[in-house]
Amino acid sequence: MLLILAYFYRYVSPAYHNGSDFKYNRTRQFKSPSSQKASAMAPEIEIREVTTRKDLKTFIHLPARIYKGVPQWVPPFYDEEKKYYDPKKNPAFATADAKIFLAFKDGEAVGRIMGIISHKMNQRWKTKNARFCLFESPDELEVANGLFDAVIGWVKAEGMETLTGPHGFSDQDPEGMLVEGFEHRATIASYYNLPYLPQLVQRCGFQKDYDYRVFWIRIPDEPPQVYLKIKERLERRGFVLVEFKTKKELKPHLDNFVVIINDTFEHVYGYAYMTPEEGRALIDSYLPILDPHFMKYIYKIPKEEVGRPIDPKTDEVVGFIVGMPDITEGIQKAKGKVLPFGIFKILKARNTTKQLDLFYAGVREKYRNLGLTTMFAVGLIADAKEKRLEYIDAHQELEFNEKVHEEWGRFEHREYKRPRIFVKELVPGGLKRYQENTEEVILRHKVADAE
């Protein structure tokens, strides 16, 4: 079961690379070709690279103005948001370059975008692909084109052949632009966007690369009987489901999170090997609000030793799952500020929600197809009912991940959101080379045509 989570830390490099398609002046401002040709009477569109604290603050808080009054939008944790622009606090910079841009119309910020070149990702998949994320624009082609032109000018000068997104440095970041399910609130690990935005991206020359599917699942009163039988059989073979009631119990096992996630997602496109530093940053960012009941591990021990306590330092970890009661209502009420009092609103939401959000789940390759995910399901169902949770947001699953989709068939479920990744060719032949180099991990023969 591969369920993907994003984490809060992303990185932006303040270094400047001038793109050949733009005019550059001493204030590091760009004007796209389309804006240069605009009528003198038309509003002036200025695309500016973010290099000052003032502009960075504008960049971070712009969505709050765009989505004011939109109940489905959830603000970020603003304290954490600041950290991922700080090279001293975000380890992602070690293997990637990034730039951020703001669009101004008559002097007022109206749009934004982030461009990324992940050297680690390109080396892993033998691509020359750049990424975009954090894209916001009014429904105005000139603004959107200006933002994309700024990113494209930079990444083409760096030798990139395609641009995909929205996604960040890796699958640990939120990714995908909503194309279905606009009526539903975002989860903590995803973005929300208005319906016009994906249409605007297409008007800027992008096409569908692939989609994610998000399922709503009713939590049953009892796990399926077949799950209980499989769990008993696996336990006799030495597989042990380790569950936690407190963070103190959980902490000795946290280092195994990085071990198992790297093994589990190694061959999933978009995943980048997580260093111990990145893993610790991820864990530390979530630990204050984590409910230990919904983080579980499976270990393998000799079957003759079944019944003894697990030693996380010496016993083999083979699988894990991470979930959390939905806290987005609390984040909204806290307006993205944890301190000094926002944490109480967030914890209240965690304790009163009816929704369980699944983030990560995985089993090591050599132990797959044994039914180990049924052990997680049995534990999660029991804890969910104890916490009076009624349904699950299964988070984003690649549209061609048929194994996971089939698993939900055992429960009452429906697809209720669909985020999309877009792609644009930057140089002749670039799209074909990108597709050829990723065809083993992006199963395009199973990707549905865009509507």
CA angle, 96 then 97 then 100, to 5°: 130
Domain 29-211+420-446 in CATH 3.40.50.300? The answer is no
39 has pLDDT over 80:
no
C-alpha 221 chain-centroid distance: 30
Q: Give the residue-averaged pLDDT of 415-425.
A: 97
Q: What is the pLDDT of residue 42?
A: 61
pLDDT digits (tens, 9 = 90+) for 327-369: 999 999 999 998 889 999 999 999 999 999 998 888 998 898 8
Backbone angles phi, psi at 322, to 5 degrees: -130, 125
b (16+ CB within 10 A) / e for 283-293: bebbeebbbbb
Mean pLDDT (the chain) is: 87
Helices in 158-254 by DSSP H: which ranges?
Answer: 196-203, 225-236, 247-250
Separation between Cα atoms, residue 83 and residue 318, nearest integer Å: 32
Give the three-class secondary structure for 396.
Answer: strand
Single-letter amino acid code for the residue at 281: A
CB contact set of 48 (below 8 Å; sequence gap of 6+): 27, 28, 29, 30, 55, 101, 102, 103, 104
100 has pLDDT over 60:
yes
34 has pLDDT over 50:
no
Q: Give the residue-averaged pLDDT of 167-177.
A: 87
Q: Which residues of 335-412 form beta strands (DSSP E)?
A: 355-363, 391-398
Residue 374 token pair: 């049924």
User: What is the pairing mode between strands 129-136 and 162-165?
Assistant: parallel
DSSP output for 229-273: HHHHHHHHTTEEEE--SSHHHHGGGTHHHHHHHHHHHTTSTT--P
Q: What is the pLDDT of residue 89?
A: 76
Fold agreement (29-211+420-446, 220-389): yes
Which of 3-12, 72-81, 150-159 is the most confident on average? 150-159
CB contact set of 298 (below 8 Å; sequence gap of 6+): 239, 240, 241, 242, 317, 318, 319, 320, 363, 372, 375, 376
Q: What is the pLDDT of residue 36?
A: 43
Q: Which of 385, 413, 261, 249 is nearest to 322 (CA)?
A: 261
Domain 220-389 in CATH 3.90.660? The answer is no
pLDDT level of residue 416 (50, 70, 90 thresholds): very high
pLDDT digits (tens, 9 = 90+) for 291-305: 899 999 999 999 999
Q: Which of 139-148, 270-279, 333-342 has the lowest mean pLDDT?
A: 270-279
Separation between Cα atoms, residue 422 and residue 416, nearest integer Å: 20
Could you state, in order of their start, the residue ranges of all structural domains in the chain?
Answer: 29-211+420-446, 220-389
